[in-house]
Structure 1
Amino acid sequence: MSVFILITVACVFFYLLWSIHLERREQNRGEQFIRWALSVDNGYFYSKPFTVTNQCITIYGIQEIIDDKSPICYSLVKMSSWGKRTVYAHCLIHGNYNDSKGFQITIENIPNGEDYKIEVFSEYKLSFGRFKLIL
């Protein structure tokens, strides 16, 4: 019985060390991907607020959609304190894009400012993915 406990503790310790190593390696690469997942219950995702300083952003991402036909809408929005949303640009991405074949969206002529967010909408279809912002 004590051998089983010792092996279990060793496996948990190894798993924790491996997780920390992978997390640090990802941070060192500068890959700050924002993960999202949408479903029937939750059709919208909003990123954390960010600041636009050079009137342009680029979104690199991957996505997977269960039915493989529905588009995913990526929008650049700004929310007022009352919850009113202003859409500055949007783009529909159709189909699945995996790690080797990601998509790229470049949005230009954006007014410089704070509190912009990326809105991801899936028409309430099951989908998931991640994206990275280049400001």
Structure 2
Amino acid sequence: MAIVFTALRVLLGLFFAFSGVIKLTDQVSAELYRHMKSRFVQSADVFPLKDFGWKPDPYQYLQAVGWIELVAGLLLAFGPRILQEISNLMLCIIMIGAIYTLLVLKEPIAICAPATVSLGLLLLLIIRGPGKKSKSKAE
């Protein structure tokens, strides 16, 4: 079972790293990059800290999320255990923010599903925890 969780961690990490790259450059897909830029204009308008007087610049917000996803994704996939755990936490926060934003923007459930599934898988990795092994029948 440990191999399944290792594979999940690596694949999820690579997914987030790729998602970060899409937010950072138009070299992968110019259309996706333009879409992300327009989505982050909307996201900045409903940013949770806006009520406290802080609204991020959409481009800087896009870049920050992109870098966090890229670095945290790579560390989740290939980093040492402590950095995997920190990266997982950072990505959970990003996904909670994404779900919040999508709900405030009243997006359809189908649009919310990828962030929700990603958060669920990240939480599964946290609950299972690194190095936890299932009890054997001999115990």
Which has the larger strand fraction?
1
Q: TM-score, normalised by structure 2?
A: 0.27
Which entry has the higher C-alpha Rg, 1 or 2? 1
**TM-score, length-normalised on structure 1?**
0.28
More helix by share: 2
Question: Whose relative contact order is higher, 1 or 2, with alpha carbons under 8 Å and at least 6 apart?
Answer: 1
